[in-house]
């Protein structure tokens, strides 16, 4: 049931919440925004308190800004177990992936989970390898789904009165396509998702091009979830 109010007035994160239009503009998987947006949570040890904030690109990518900021904070204690959750509008580029791995290697008590709305320049071999290396180093990377959009809306967005349950419901097709391509990246398979822009970048077209290796290595349920694949019939 929708609440008749916005975030509680006593919510300590209220000043750090982003506006609804910012969330929808940054995290809509159907659109390509230029700026990257990061929503993040930090939890220390067994403490139930969660620190939430957001960040955007400056002269550096938002991932680098986060790492430099947290490493310089006086409350950052490398000896205490730390859990970090990122909700990113774009997946990290290869340079940011390298920076993340270096940070995690220096701080083994940090566990990082990344949810992404889109894949950043996923045809670039270096970006693909960067994401694969992150996963192999222990980072969890997943495509944002409806539960993540709801969670971010409730905990990071300054939603208006009566709109607590009105988070954006994006069609699952785009999420499934990005999830399929992320699976290809993790397995080291060639790209299967091709994205092009038409009519002065106003129209974004998604197209799948599957090879035999995709059919052989990717579970059928992931392929079928896109609604764009018909698996070859096996006769007995």
Active site residues: 63
Ordered alpha helix ranges (H), 73-211: 94-106, 125-136, 146-156, 172-187
- Sheet of 51-56: strands edge to edge? 51-56, 37-44, 82-88, 110-116, 140-143
Interatomic CA distance for residues 228 and 231, integer angstroms: 10
Burial of residue 208 (CB within 10 Å: 0-12, 13-18, 19+) is middle
Handedness of CA 217, 218, 221, 226 (dihedral sign): negative
Interatomic CA distance for residues 169 and 188, integer angstroms: 31
Both tokens of 193, joined, read 């998702």
Asked whether the beta carbons of 111 and 139 are under 8 A apart, the reply is no
For 10, how many CA atoms within 13 A lie in the half-sphere containing its CB?
A: 0
């Amino acid at each position: 049931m929708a609440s008749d109010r916005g975030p509680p007035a006593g919510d300590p994160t209220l000043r750090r919440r982003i506006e609804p239009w910012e969330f929808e503009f940054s995290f809509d998987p159907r659109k390509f925004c230029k700026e990257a947006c990061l929503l993040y949570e930090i939890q220390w040890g067994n403490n139930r308190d969660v620190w939430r904030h957001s960040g955007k690109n400056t002269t550096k990518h938002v991932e680098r800004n986060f790492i430099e900021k947290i490493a310089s904070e006086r409350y950052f204690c490398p000896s205490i177990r730390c859990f970090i959750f990122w909700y990113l509008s774009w997946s990290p580029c290869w340079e940011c992936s390298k920076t993340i791995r270096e940070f995690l290697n220096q701080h083994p008590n940090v566990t990082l989970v990344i949810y992404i709305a889109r894949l950043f320049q996923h045809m670039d071999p270096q970006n693909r390898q960067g994401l694969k290396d992150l996963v192999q180093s222990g980072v969890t990377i997943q495509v944002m789904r409806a539960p993540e959009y709801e969670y971010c809306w409730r905990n990071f967005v300054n939603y208006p009165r009566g709109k607590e349950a009105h988070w954006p419901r994006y069609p699952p097709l785009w999420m499934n396509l990005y999830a399929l391509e992320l699976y290809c990246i993790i397995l080291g398979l060639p790209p299967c998702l091709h994205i092009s822009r038409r009519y002065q970048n106003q129209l974004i077209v998604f197209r799948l091009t599957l090879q035999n290796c995709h059919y052989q290595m990717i579970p059928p349920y992931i392929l079928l979830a896109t609604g764009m694949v018909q698996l070859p019939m096996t006769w007995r």
